[in-house]
Amino acid sequence: MITKKELCETIITKNKINSHTDIPENKILESSNLAVAMEYLGMIKNQQLKEYASQRGGVLICGVTSNGDVKSLTLREILDLLPE
C-alpha cells in the first residue's frame, strides 16, 4: 500500500516540481492537490500560501453510485486513510 509521503511525492512529481527549494508560487495556486501535497511535506514557506493550502481539500476521487449520487473523496480524506 502506498504511504502518505509517497502519494504526496507522486503528486509533486506529476506537477514537475523536483526541487524543494525552488517552487513557483503560481503552481500552488493552480492545483489544490499540489497545495495539499506540498503542505503535508512541509514544502511551503510563505505564510499566506500555507494558509491557502490549509483551506484546500483537493479532489482526488469522484464517482457516481448506481443510484446516481456523486461521491468524492478529497486528498485530505485519502491521506487520513493511508499509513504513514
pLDDT reading at 14 higher than 80 = yes
Each residue's pLDDT tens digit, 31-80: 899 999 999 999 888 899 999 999 999 987 788 888 988 888 899 999 99
The confidence score (pLDDT) of residue 62 equals 80
Domain count, the chain: 1
CB 36, CB 58: distance < 8 Å: yes
Instruction: Write out the residue range of the structural domain in which residue 14 sits.
Output: 4-81
The confidence score (pLDDT) of residue 24 equals 76
Return the higher-pLDDT residue of 20 and 1: 1
Confidence (pTM): 0.81
What totals of helices (H) and strands (E) does the chain contain, helices first? 5, 2
Burial bucket for residue 42 (CB in 10 Å: 0-12, 13-18, 19+):
exposed
